[in-house]
Structure 1
Amino acid sequence: MTSVLQFSKWKQITKLIVPSALPNILLGVRLSLGVSWLGIVVAEMMGSNAGIGNMIQEARQFSQTTIVLSGIVIFAIVGKLSDSLVRFLENRWLKWRDNFQG
């Protein structure tokens, strides 16, 4: 169709290829953010001398439950914020997509 409409290569990329690939790109970003966030948490808890993961590990050793729970809540909030940011971008950039929410 783009050849019939005589789109230039740049116009093909910006008007057809990128918009059609954007839902999958954003899905990949959401999934990779989740996996990378999990990796950061594990790395901080295993081999770090500073950070929230280290704080949780030290608090666990001394049975300070409130500090452990606050660290978990911080991890959860930041993870949810990063996911919400990508969802916001999806809703903004993909207004043309049909959404079926039951």
Structure 2
Amino acid sequence: MSQATNQSWGGRFSEPTDAFVARFTASVNFDQRLARQDIQGSIAHATMLARVGVLTEEERDAIINGLTEIQGEIDRGEFQWSVPLEDVHMNIEARLTDKIG
């Protein structure tokens, strides 16, 4: 994943996060079980954004198709989880960005 080292809050500090703190605060191993719900929520959000005109139908479809493919990767055990990305949503978002831009 292209964003494997970009922590969502990492730009606020001049020193790298201590490895112990990174392991202690990472939730990705725990919240992987929420992946399906995260993807369903993201699909609903993309649908709403298209409905109100923020996304085009083509953009919405690309997002939904990408998320559906990611769910398949997760279901098959092929998805590569990244602890530095911190949580399930950031992992899925990074993979979606890799897939569709």
Larger radius of gyration: 1
Same fold (TM over 0.5): no
Bigger fraction of residues in helix? 1
TM-score w.r.t. length of structure 1: 0.36
Q: TM-score scaled by structure 2?
A: 0.36
- Structure with the bigger RCO (C-alpha within 8 Å, sep 6+) is 2
